[in-house]
Structures are given as structure tokens and as C-alpha cells.
């Protein structure tokens, strides 16, 4: 009988070696360690140097995930890279494919900002459930330091760089128990990394739009209100689809945007703090990488154990949000 269930069998993560703590950041902009910590819970963030890229850290995280899953790169059928900051606008998944030597794999990028890993998990699952692919490598990687205004204390205090990966494999038992994903483009202006066009005349009467991307802009209050309202709702919907109650959740694994958001969502769901996975203090908001980095650390620290039930939820630009309920391991 063909295995059409899904098991998440390996995880890995990688972050740049360079870090900037709040004290160091206070020398760049008008802020302080106390101001940042009380409002966000962030104490430091990792920043990629010119020798580091989405490809290098994504590859490093992938190798660790493959090793844990006890699978070789040549056996991967699909590589999905969730990123908003590719090294190449045409896509970076194929660059990671080349570095890994995953010659059999189809590789492409997926963009859903900070929801990217959850959206990627749901996308990967469909390929497995339909019998198209057996082994999928899902990566969340972002280098937002490239696109942050380091003179804007509203945004530069929040973001960091990193990569996380997970291996999804066809399995007799389906461990992806339920999911729900959402988008609302009417709220798009709340969080942007927008293209800024500049007119360039090629010849008389013929002009094109030539430009670059602006820095990250965000309405923090709008994003906070959106997150604390929509995330509990989407987790409830995913739990309903999984035929589970919130009491049956072993771990709440949220996008690591802000400790206040993590606390507020947990409180609204009546999930005790000891079940909430948080590493936002060490890395800040790493966008699509935040959930898989936190997952990998919790697995390697022995917190998350085989068959533990995890409620994961991402939320961010788009605006997008989603939740997936899954059991860890086979």
C-alpha cells in the first residue's frame, strides 16, 4: 500500500556567527536594552556578513536536517525554500539544490514572509499526500538585515538573520493532523518591503520603471493587533480540523516576532507558558526561519519528543497567517 501520510523526520538550523546585542544597537540608534527588552523580549540578533547568504545558511541547516532524518541529498524529490530575501530574484532554492548535490530534486522558492514555513509545510504535504513525491526538504531562510533601515529604531531592533530546515517524508500514519492558511491583501500596507520605481527614459516616448527595493516598513500597532486576534483564531480552526482540543497540544510553536505576541496568544488560548517555545531573545524576528530554528532547538534540547503534538503558527506580511497541527517524528 502506498504511504500517503506525512512524517516530519528531521530538523536543522544555522545562524550567522556575528551578533549584535541591544547595547551595541543603542550605539547606532536612540534606544536602550531596557526599552527593547520590555517591548519585544529581544536581547540580541544574528547578522549575516558579506560571506554569508541565504544559500550558505540554508545549505548548512539542510545538511543538519538530512542527517537527523538519516536521508541523503540524492534521495530528496522536492526542495521548497520559503524566503522573502533570496540571493537571486529568480530564486535561491536551486542554488541550495546545487550545494547539496540533490540532483533528483525539483527546487523552487515560496514567498509568504513570516508565514512562509507554515505555508511551505502545507504545500509540501500536498505533494506527498497525492503520491507525487516521497521526500521533501522544506527550508525557511531570510537575511532581513539587507533590507532594514539601521537608522529606524522601529524596525532595526526587531529583525535578525537565520535559516531552519525540516525533512518531510511519506509515512503510513499521517502526522500532519490539521491546518488552516489565510491571507488578507487589504492589510498589505501594514508591513512592506516594497519596490520603489524610478522612471528611466530609453528614448523619446518610451520609458521604463527602473529602481530597487526600499527598506522594511511596518505599522507595529496594526501588526500586533492583527496577530493577537487572528493567530488564536487560526490555531482554533486548525485544531478543529485535527479533531483535537487545545488541552491536547504539547507545544505551542509560534513565529518568533515578539515575546508580547507569544504571551498574548498563549493567554488567549489558555496554554500555559511552560508549553510555549520561545527563542526570540536570542535571534529576534528571523521571518520564515523563526519557526524551524525554534523547532530544531527544542528537538535537539530534548524538549520536543517523538509523537509530541505541536501547534505551529506563522503570521506576517501580506498580510498572511496560518497554523499547522502536527506530531513530531514517525
Q: Tell me the β-bridge partners of 199.
A: 209
CA separation (Å) from 9 to 97, 164, 240?
19, 14, 25
Which residue of the set 114, 135, 171, 282 is catalytic?
114
Q: Tell me the β-bridge partners of 324.
A: 179, 312
Residue 83, C-alpha cell as written in the block: 524566503
Task: Decide if 156 is catalytic.
Answer: no
| 3-state secondary structure (DSSP) of residue 238 | helix
CA separation (Å) from 285 to 46, 155, 320?
10, 10, 16
Residue 135, C-alpha cell as written in the block: 521526500
Alpha carbon of residue 207 to chain centroid: 38
Alpha-carbon gap, residue 26 to 39, rounded angstroms = 15
Count CB atoms within 10 A of the CB of residue 268. 15
Q: Tell me the β-bridge partners of 180.
A: 323
Cβ neighbors of 49 (< 8 A, separation 6 or more) are: 16, 17, 18
Which residue of the set 135, 171, 258, 285 is catalytic?
285
Alpha carbon of residue 96 to chain centroid: 17
| 3-state secondary structure (DSSP) of residue 84 | coil
- Please report, to the nearest 10 degrees, the dihedral formed by the alpha carbons of residues 244, 247, 253, 255 taken in order: 80
Which residue of the set 156, 175, 255, 282 is catalytic?
255
Task: Decide if 282 is catalytic.
Answer: no
Contact 136/124 with Cβ under 8 angstroms?
Answer: yes
Task: Decide if 215 is catalytic.
Answer: no
Contact 316/158 with Cβ under 8 angstroms?
Answer: no
Alpha-carbon gap, residue 161 to 153, rounded angstroms = 17
Distance between start and end Cα atoms, the chain: 17
Q: Catalytic residue numbers?
A: 114, 255, 285
Amino acid at each position: 500500500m502506498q504511504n500517503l501520510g506525512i512524517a516530519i523526520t528531521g530538523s536543522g538550523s544555522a545562524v550567522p556567527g556575528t551578533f549584535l546585542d541591544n547595547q551595541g544597537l543603542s550605539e547606532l540608534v536612540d534606544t536602550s536594552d531596557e526599552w527593547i527588552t520590555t517591548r519585544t523580549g529581544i536581547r540580541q540578533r544574528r547578522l549575516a556578513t558579506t560571506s554569508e547568504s541565504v544559500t550558505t545558511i540554508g545549505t548548512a541547516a539542510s545538511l543538519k536536517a538530512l542527517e537527523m532524518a538519516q536521508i541523503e541529498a540524492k534521495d530528496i524529490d522536492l526542495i521548497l525554500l520559503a524566503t522573502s530575501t533570496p540571493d537571486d530574484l529568480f530564486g535561491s532554492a536551486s542554488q541550495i539544490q546545487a550545494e547539496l548535490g540533490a540532483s533528483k530534486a525539483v527546487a523552487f522558492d515560496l514567498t509568504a514572509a513570516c508565514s512562509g514555513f507554515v505555508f511551505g509545510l502545507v504545500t509540501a504535504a500536498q505533494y506527498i499526500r497525492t503520491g507525487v513525491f516521497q521526500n521533501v526538504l522544506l527550508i525557511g531562510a531570510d537575511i532581513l538585515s539587507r533590507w532594514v533601515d539601521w537608522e529606524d529604531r522601529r524596525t532595526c531592533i526587531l529583525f535578525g538573520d537565520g535559516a531552519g530546515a525540516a525533512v518531510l517524508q511519506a509515512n503510513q500514519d499521517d502526522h500532519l493532523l490539521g491546518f488552516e492558511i489565510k491571507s488578507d491583501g487589504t492589510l498589505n500596507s501594514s508591513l512592506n518591503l516594497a519596490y520603489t520605481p524610478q522612471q528611466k527614459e530609453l528614448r523619446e516616448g518610451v520609458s521604463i520603471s527602473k529602481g530597487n527595493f526600499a527598506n522594511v516598513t511596518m505599522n507595529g500597532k496594526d501588526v500586533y493587533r492583527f496577530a493577537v486576534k487572528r493567530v488564536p483564531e487560526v490555531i482554533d480552526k486548525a485544531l478543529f480540523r485535527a479533531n483535537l482540543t487545545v488541552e491536547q497540544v504539547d507545544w505551542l510553536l509560534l513565529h518568533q516576532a515578539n515575546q508580547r505576541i507569544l504571551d498574548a496568544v498563549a493567554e488567549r488560548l489558555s496554554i500555559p507558558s511552560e508549553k510555549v517555545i520561545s527563542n526570540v531573545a536570542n535571534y529576534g524576528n528571523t521571518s520564515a526561519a523563526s519557526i524551524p530554528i525554534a523547532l530544531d532547538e527544542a528537538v535537539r534540547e530534548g524538549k520536543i519528543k517523538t509523537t509530541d503534538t505541536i501547534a505551529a503558527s506563522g503570521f506576517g506580511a501580506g498580510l498572511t497567517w496560518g497554523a499547522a497541527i502536527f506530531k513530531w517524528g514517525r
